Each structure stands twice: as structure tokens, then as C-alpha cells.
Amino acid sequence: MKLNAKTLRQMKAVTPIAMLTAYTAPVARALERAGIPVILVGDTVGMVEMGFDSTRHTTVEHMQYHVSAVRRGAPETHVIGDLPFNSYNDPQLALRSARALLDAGADSVKLEGPQLEVIAHLVASGIDVVGHTGLTPQTSKDFRQVGRSAADAQRVLAEAVGIAAAGAFMVVLEHIPASLAEQVTRTIGVPTIGIGAGGACDGQVLVINDAVGLGDYWPPFSRQYAYVGQTIVDVAQSYMKEVHDGTFVNNILRMNAAGKK
């Protein structure tokens, strides 16, 4: 049964929320089969799938394409669509961008930073919003941890409070000290979703490419459960060897024959 914003909000301090990103129908289908309750179609697609050096190159059109693919793969899973850089600079632009992602199949949208007027406008327009504070890749100059000084920690806390008060039903906390994430989680009344923010958050999110080891670089706060990148190399080399030595077609015929027995 697909979760909605209300049911996800009610999971705070009750049931940990496991969230993964997905960008394609086959991966989304696998995550739904695994029982993952929330899929984030992140603007990270620009970096991990499209080869850009920043999420700032991801567009609304890119997000529409990938949201629609994920929705087809996971029809019964709550899908969050990321609003990309420069797509929510004012409330009306944000509304158009959000509706584009909802039309593509998203159940809710996520945006970065203390865009309180934008969040309030989207919520008033009937759109469910996920906030995001701490490290905000669309505008940050680097990927260093945020909130280490007392003043910066107070800023992150104030942003989270404001984002929740503006109507967001969840808030992503990225790459902040665990003690700060715990303070934010205790303070605001909506679930916090951590990525590189310690274990006290109400849930966690992980980029699927990091989780399966598909790539050649992973952030220090990610977790790899496999190394699919090396598996692809191994498969490609085995295939190439069979083509070169002339056994490829015969091996297909032999496998097909074995499958018919």
C-alpha cells in the first residue's frame, strides 16, 4: 500500500524510514519488490547517471523523464521528485516545476534550503513538500560537513524549524554532525531523513549507485553493499573473450538447450 505524506509524517519516532534513490524503471521495480517505502528521484541523477560534475546541470526536463520511469517501475511506492537548481526561484516558478514532476508521476517534491515562502505556497496549492538543509549541493561550494561551528549549527537548526513550520512533511539533513541532527530531530515535529547525519534521524536515504557500488567514487558518508561496477567490467571482459574465441553463439545455444530440459 502506497504511503502518503500523512502516513510518512506519522512514522516519526515510531518506524524508521528507509529511503533509496532510483532513476530507472528496473531499479525502481527492484526497490518496490524489496519493500522500500519511499523512492527519491534525486537531482543526483545528473552526476551519477548523466556524467555531469554537479547537480546544478540537472533540469526539470531531466527530472520529468526519470520520475516517469521510476513511477512505471514502482507504481505502489511513494516517489519524491527533486526540484532541480533554478526551478524554484520564486513561488510561481516553483509551482510550475512541481506540477511538472507530479504530472510525471511524483507523489511529492523536494527542494533545498530555507525557501519558506516557496514551501508555504506549494503546500497551500495542495503539493506535499520535503525540505532539505545542512549540506545543499545545488548551492554549496564544496562537500565539507556543515554545522560544525556553534553559529552554523544554530543556522541549520533554525532552517529546519522554519522548513517544518512552512509545511514540509519531512526534512532531509545532509552531512551535519550527528549531535546536531539529533537536536534537530528532537526539535521539529516532522520526520528527519539523514544522509551523513548520524543515527538519530527518523530515517536514512542513500543513493542507489552508492549502495550497489556502481561508479568509481562514493562520498565518505555512503555505504556500499556490493560492487556492481566491477561486475560489469567482469561481464564485459567475459563477453569480449567469447566473441574473440568464437564461443559466444554456441554458449547461448547451449544455455537455451539446458533451459528447455
Joined together, the cell numbers standing for residue 106 give 511524483
- Catalytic hit among 61, 174, 182, 242: 174
CA distances to 19, 78, 173, 239 from 191, in Å: 12, 15, 10, 47
For the chain, the maximum distance between any two Cα atoms, rounded to a whole number of angstroms, is: 70
Contacts of 221 (CB under 8 A, 6+ apart): 175, 195, 196, 197
Region at 256 (left for phi over 0; alpha for psi -120 to 50; beta for the rest): alpha
Q: Is 259 exposed, middle or buried (0-12, 13-18, 19+ CB in 10 A)?
A: exposed
Active site residue 76: no
Contacts of 250 (CB under 8 A, 6+ apart): none
In whole angstroms, what is the distance from residue 127 CA to residue 98 CA?
8
Joined together, the cell numbers standing for residue 95 give 509551482
On whether the CB atoms of residues 106 and 41 are closer than 8 A, the answer is yes
Helices 60-73 and 91-104: angle between axes, nearest 10 degrees: 30
Q: What is the helix (H) or strand (E) element at residue 167, kind and residue range?
A: none
> What one-character DSSP code corresponds to residue 37?
S
Q: Active-site residue numbers?
A: 174
